[in-house]
Structure 1
Amino acid sequence: SYDPNGIPIEFSCEVPGHDLFWNPVMKDLAATSGFLTEPNPVPGQWPKPEPVSDEERVIVPGEGKDFFPETPDRTPVSTPMSAAEGAMKVRDVMHHGVYTTTVNDTIRSVAETISNEKISGLPVVDDNNRLVGVISEKDILKALLPGYTQFLENPAQALDFHAMESSYGGVLQKSVGELMSPSVIAIDIDAPVMKAAAQMDLHSFRRIPVVDQDCRLAGIISLSDIHQAIFVRELEDASGR
């Protein structure tokens, strides 16, 4: 069932291959706020901490733009606040308008968007705008590398770097569904912004996608969005004291 105060990831929306990783340090936060949920957790037992895989580490601080890009029509709301709890919600701070792709789109179309917009990847959505995966530059370049079997059968040919580059044309013809990573790290639209900040800190991300209760992509939220909103609210509170 859906927890409006949690992250809809078990996901009742059944994101294929979804995994979330825990840090024991976050145990208390998780226990008190429903910070994250894991598919079919064992009662009374916390999942073992694991590192985020390369496929999931698509938002890399310091490497150009973040993975989930903002589109030009972003219209941030200033000094938002939840009247019910006094804590700002993700929906109040997030931005709408995210470049997306689908599993049936070609890698060529993704490469064009990545190149033109100077970003590193795109979230993948289905026909109902439900978040089903991510596709990044790393996924595309990884497709150029030889497989383990190929390396064992013919090491010399497998290390032909020119051949790797030359195979790019063929990779462009593949579908997004063939290369994308189905693992998704997302935050619920009604979660507190500090829960989003904690999740980004846990995974070393600077931005994460926002989903609604049906796992539809709703927007994007960044650490900068959260910090700016809290900073502005503090200034307003201070001026009213």
Structure 2
Amino acid sequence: MDLLKVADHMNRHPATFNREMSVEEAVNKLIIAEQLGGPVVDAQKKVIGFISEQDCLARMLSDTYHLAQSATVGDVMRADVLTVKSYDGIVDLAQTMLQAKPKIYPVVDDNGLLLGVISRSDVLRAIDLELHAHYKAVS
């Protein structure tokens, strides 16, 4: 299982966001993409933040209560983003996921440029496929 790499199981075409986008537009993108969250990138595709459904929900509830216009992605995004590299191992990432809370990790190159995202579901699927392949080989 050490041969399983993030690059082989990541989503290479995730929904992405920019800091000027409204929270409502971000919510629409999350719903259409069926993602729980996604990376916020600058014009060069460098990851500068992350926005989740939870972030959007909290802000939209607050804005509804105060009858205010919603904020931008830049207002609600998290700037402290846990990322992984495409060459990282799936097992190592799975162990990280047991400790850290993010359900989706941006996959970046060595310069911080976005390559894709990988979710807990992707990691589970990768490990499940590998285990099934070993069971068939043994049978």
Residue identity over aligned pairs, in percent, reads: 26
Partner SS for 2:50: strand
How far, CA to CA, are the matches of 1:94 and 1:197 in structure 2? 13
Name the aligned partner's letter for residue 106 of structure 1: S
- Decide whether the 8 Å contact of 2:36 with 2:104 is kept in 1: no
- Counterpart residue type for residue 122 of structure 1: G
Instruction: Please state if 1:122 is matched with 2:38.
Output: yes
Code of the aligned partner of 2:43: D
Once residues 119 and 234 of structure 1 are traced to their aligned partners in structure 2, the CA distance between those partners, rounded to angstroms, is: 26
SS at match of 2:38: strand
Partner of 2:67: 166
Closer, same or farther: CA 237–117 of 1 in aligned 2, 3 Å: closer
Q: For structure 1, which runs of at least 5 residues remain unmatched after alignment?
A: 1-80, 147-161
1:19-38 superposed matches below 5 A: none
Query: Could you tell me how far 1:125 is from its partner in structure 2?
Result: 0.6
Q: Which residue is equivalent to 2:21?
A: 105
Residue 227 of structure 1, aligned match among 114, 124, 132: 124
> In 1, distance between residues paired with 2:38 and 2:124?
24
More strand by share: 2
CA distance in 2, matches of 1:185, 1:119: 17
- Whole-Å separation in 2 of the counterparts to 1:234 and 1:107: 40
> What is the aligned counterpart of 1:216 among 92, 113, 118?
113
Aligned twin of 1:187: 84
Relative to structure 1, is the Cα distance of residues 93 and 122 closer, same or farther in structure 2, using a 3 angstrom cutoff? closer
The Cα shift of 1:217 comes to: 1.6
* TM-score normalised by L of structure 1: 0.48
Distance 2:59 2:135 in 1: 51
Please say which structure displays the higher CA radius of gyration. 1
C-alpha displacement of 1:143: 7.0
**Structure 2: runs of 5 or more not aligned:** none
Alpha-carbon separation, structure 2, partners of 1:108 and 1:210? 25
**CA distance in structure 1 between the partners assigned to 2:95 and 2:88 by the alignment:** 11
Tell whether the 8 Å contact from 1:193 to 1:226 is kept in structure 2 after alignment: yes
Given that 1:130 and 1:216 are in contact with CA atoms closer than 8 Å, whether structure 2 keeps it comes out as yes
Query: Does residue 12 of structure 2 align to residue 96 of structure 1?
Result: yes
Name the structure where helix makes up a greater proportion of residues: 2
Equivalent residues, number:
137
Number of the residue aligned with 1:5: none
* TM-fit CA distance, 1:202: 0.7
Q: Distance in 2 between matches of 1:104 and 1:135?
A: 13
Matches within 5 A, 1:33-112: 87-112=3-28
Q: Per-residue CA shift, 1:30-69, capped at 9, x if unaligned?
A: xxxxxxxxxxxxxxxxxxxxxxxxxxxxxxxxxxxxxxxx
Q: CA deviation at 1:120?
A: 4.3
Question: Secondary structure of the residue that 1:166 maps to in structure 2?
Answer: coil
Letter in 2 for 1:166: L
Once the two structures are TM-superposed, the CA of residue 219 in structure 1 deviates from its matched residue by: 1.5
Q: What RMSD, in angstroms, separates the aligned Cα atoms of the two structures?
A: 2.8
CA distance in 2: counterparts of 1:234 and 1:222, whole angstroms: 19
